[in-house]
A and B are shown apart, each in its own frame.
Chain A
């Protein structure tokens, strides 16, 4: 994907519920409505999360960082966003 196409896709998907078609997903165990066709990268941006600071599991499959823009959120998806926290 070219950079401009990536920007275009993300630019159009920064909001939730702006009259566009929505899909229901389960995000970190909680039901959530997000815009249809949103990329996972755009979802992270919407949540104000840095892609470099989280790991995404999309329907039980770990997404590589360079796959975040291509992965689209679809109805019924289960997404887990994890990061490192204190532990022993």
Chain B
């Protein structure tokens, strides 16, 4: 089956893999890994300028907005008010009016505050943002976020930075079945097989950061992730065989030697 193009909020993207820019050992490695991933959309965070350190630490010194589509996030925000504030600061940088909305509800698990996320999404959509909302793997919240006007809904595979892979493939599939906007699994992918398996659920894309940045060789892992996302997508489109808990021979049972034919 031929794949359709990957369109979010009216914009077409070349890759179904979206990557973050955090936690790399240095900026050179970050840029090399992102290029190797062949991702087009790349997330960034909004933070205070460190006035005591180098003035060159801003990520725009390393990532060219004409090469990558930079998606500001509201990571680290625990309230609706903070999320709106960070989103507006990100937009004021003048790149675009998109936002990866995160409203965190718990420090240990970094699970989203889903009620606050929906509330913030409504406000941001009304304010003209294209909202891509990070959320739990919860169908009802996903439906509310779609109703709120989000351009994409992004359920987690498992907690941010955990690398546990997709803990609930059924919930992810059900969210994909029930919503019309693109579904991007965001957070929890640990290695290439997780990314492949995620895409095999039929979702539109995957967003990851730590799985690449924290690998021993981020560039190598980025390359693996690019292949895995494409492999998982192709496998989904190709339609897998039915699994069954009994063997069925692949080779003919007829024509074996030393059998008497009469």
The 8 Å CB contact of B210, one of A48, A83, A88, is A88
A28 CB contacts on chain B under 8 angstroms: 48-49, 51
The tally of residues in A whose CB lies under 8 Å from a CB in B reads 23
How many chain B residues sit at the interface, stated as a range, is 35 or more
Report how far A57 CA is from B87 CA in the complex, Å.
Answer: 13
Within 8 A of B (CB), among A32-88: 47-49, 53-55, 57, 62, 64-65, 80-88
Report the separation of the CA atoms of residues A54 and B168 in the bound assembly, to the nearest whole angstrom.
40
Q: Which residues of A contact B46 (CB under 8 A)?
A: 55, 82-85
B89–A47 CB distance below 8 A = no
Report the bound CA distance from A87 to B48 in whole Å: 13
Q: Tell me if A82 and B47 are in contact (CB < 8 A).
A: yes
A22 → B minimal CB distance (Å): 18
In the complex, what residues of B have CB within 8 A of residue A47's CB?
51, 55
Q: Which residue of A lies closest to B102 (CB)?
A: A88
Count the A-B residue pairs with Cβ separation under 8 angstroms: how many? 96
Which residue on chain A has the smallest CB distance to residue B45?
A87
- Alpha-carbon distance between A76 and B14 when the two chains are bound, in angstroms: 48
CA distance A47 to B51 in the complex (A): 8
Q: Is B70 engaged at the interface, CB distance under 8 Å to the other chain?
A: yes
B92 with A55: CB separation less than 8 A: yes
Closest B residue to A60 using CB positions: B85
Q: Is the beta-carbon distance between A48 and B55 smaller than 8 angstroms?
A: yes
Report if A86-B49 is in contact (Cβ < 8 Å); known contacts: A55-B93, A57-B89, A62-B88: no
Whether B58 pairs with A87 at a CB distance below 8 angstroms is no
Is B121 engaged at the interface, CB distance under 8 Å to the other chain?
A: no
Interface positions of B from 83 to 128, Cβ below 8 Å from A? 88-90, 92-94
Is there a chain A Cβ closer than 8 Å to B190's Cβ?
no
Q: A62-B88, A86-B30 are in contact. Are A49 and B55 (CB under 8 A)?
A: yes
Q: B48 contacts which chain A residues (CB < 8 A)?
A: 28-29, 80-82
CB distance from A40 to the nearest CB of B (A): 13
Min CB gap A15→B, angstroms: 17
Q: Could you tell me which residues of chain B, from 16 to 63, have a CB within 8 Å of some CB in chain A?
A: 20-24, 30, 43-49, 51, 55, 57-61
Tell me, rounded to whole Å, the shortest Cβ–Cβ distance linking B111 to chain A: 15
In the complex, chain B residues whose CB is within 8 Å of the CB of A27? 51
In the complex, which residue of chain B has the Cβ closest to the Cβ of A87? B45
Chain B residues lying within 8 Å of A48, measured Cβ to Cβ, are 55
Which of B22, B51, B187 contacts A87, CB < 8 Å?
B22
Bound form: Cα–Cα A67–B46 in Å: 21
Tell me the minimal C-beta distance from A38 to chain B in angstroms: 16
Cβ of A86 and Cβ of B89 under 8 Å apart? no
Q: Which of B145-180 contact A (CB under 8 A)?
A: 160-161
What residues of chain B lie closer than 8 Å to A88, measured between beta carbons? 20-23, 43, 45, 73, 75, 160-161, 187, 207-210
Q: Which chain A residue lies CB-closest to B21?
A: A86
Tell me which residues across on chain B come within 8 A of A57, comparing CB atoms: 89
Whether the pair A86, B22 counts as a contact (CB closer than 8 A) is yes
Tell me the A residues contacting B by CB distance below 8 Å. Answer: 27-30, 47-49, 53-55, 57, 62, 64-65, 80-88
Can you list 9 A-B contacts (CB < 8 A)? A30-B51, A64-B92, A83-B58, A85-B46, A85-B58, A86-B45, A88-B22, A88-B207, A88-B208
